[in-house]
Amino acid sequence: MIRRFLTSLAFKKAFTLIELLVTITIIMMLAGMLFPALSRAREEGRRTVCMSNVRQLIFAAVMYANNNDEYYPPLQQGGGFGPPEILWFGARQSDGTYKPEGSFLYPYLPNGEIRWCPSFKKHTSTGIYGNATGGYGYNDQYIGSSAFLDGNYTLVRPAKIGWIRKTDETIIFADCAYWDMVTEKIEEKYNLSAPCYEKYGGRYDANIHFRHNKKANIGFCDGHVESRFWDYPGNLAHGGDTSQYGLGFLSPVPVPNLTVPEDKRKLVNAYFDRD
């Protein structure tokens, strides 16, 4: 009788241990499925904050234009072939860093600052512009300057609001970065370059940063912001795949590796072009 009781008790203990192991296994499996979903949800929250930041930049640029004969803020001013003295996001200091005070957008932003994209902090390594760009780039070829179109670099004339024919299709600000082959890191990039240089057809490296669950926040001249997947993965003009770092292109057609034929340039740059 006693032996039967002890055997039954041992069986119950063994069964309880098996139940515990099964429960732990189930919890681990559920956690394995839940954690990626939580991570994606957190990134969606950061993406929403970033969209608000981009929208603020667009409104600031429009307010600047309203006070400056409808000209958008210049991409940069001064500096010659050296570092620019004033950019859309900051003014160069004596120590080589950039501060928001004195920039073109400073008077039109809340507290005068560009809010940092919460998803970009983990990427940038050196903050070469003092982290003043917020992780965003400004359409340099068609909005912030005309120098790329006419080749006249002595007059960096921005576009007027009325020159943009399709404001709902023309990019003005976006999540932006570049791959630095020296530091081998993702770095800040203040100028958002179209896929090619329209005047000569030279290829730019991919610089739209698809950092939000493989999406990038793209701001358009009419004020709306979209989260977009890339049309084509990023690569360096002279070789190298940067899509692994989240860099890619927005273009209605494939982007050639080097020079873009003249009859294809406007199509390749369609999302950036004033027309």
DSSP code of residue 85:
S
CA distances from 186 to 8, 58, 135, 176 (A): 64, 24, 11, 10
- Which residues of the chain fall below pLDDT 70? 1-15, 17, 19-20, 23, 26-27, 29-41, 43, 79-84, 122-128, 151-155
Cβ–Cβ contacts within 10 Å for residue 223, how many? 14
Q: 212 and 119 in contact (C-beta within 8 Å)?
A: yes
Query: Which residue, among 159, 257, 252, has the nearest Cα to 206 in the 3D structure?
Result: 257
Pairwise CA distance, residues 160 & 96, whole Å: 31
Q: Are 44 and 213 in contact (CB under 8 A)?
A: yes
HSE-CB at 6 with a 13 A cutoff on CA atoms is 3
Backbone angles phi, psi at 40, to 5 degrees: -65, -40
Query: What per-residue confidence (pLDDT) applies to 190?
Result: 93
The domain ranges of the chain are 38-273
Decide: helix, strand or coil at residue 220.
Answer: strand
Block residue for tokens 């499925």: 33
pLDDT of residue 112: 80
Predicted confidence at residue 154, as pLDDT, reads: 58
What is the three-state SS of 162-211? HHCCCCCCCEEEEEECEEECCCCEEECCCEECCCECCCCCCECCCCEECC
Mapped onto helix, strand or coil, the DSSP state of residue 125 is coil
Using a 10 angstrom Cβ sphere, with 0-12 exposed, 13-18 middle and 19 or more buried, the burial of residue 18 is exposed
Query: 186 in the Ramachandran plot: left (φ > 0), alpha (ψ -120 to 50) or beta?
Result: beta
Q: What is the tens place of the pLDDT at every residue in 156-211?
A: 789 999 999 999 999 999 999 998 888 788 888 999 999 998 888 899 999 999 99
* pTM over cut 0.85: no
37-60 residue pLDDT tens: 555 668 688 999 999 999 999 999
What are the tokens at 231?
């049309």
The amino acid at residue 134 is G
- Residue 149 to residue 154: CA distance in whole angstroms: 13
- Tell me if 139 sits within 8 A of 76, measured CB to CB: no
Output the pLDDT for position 81. Answer: 55
H helical segments located in the chain: 2-66, 147-150, 265-268
Residue partners of 9: CB distance under 8 A and separation at least 6: none
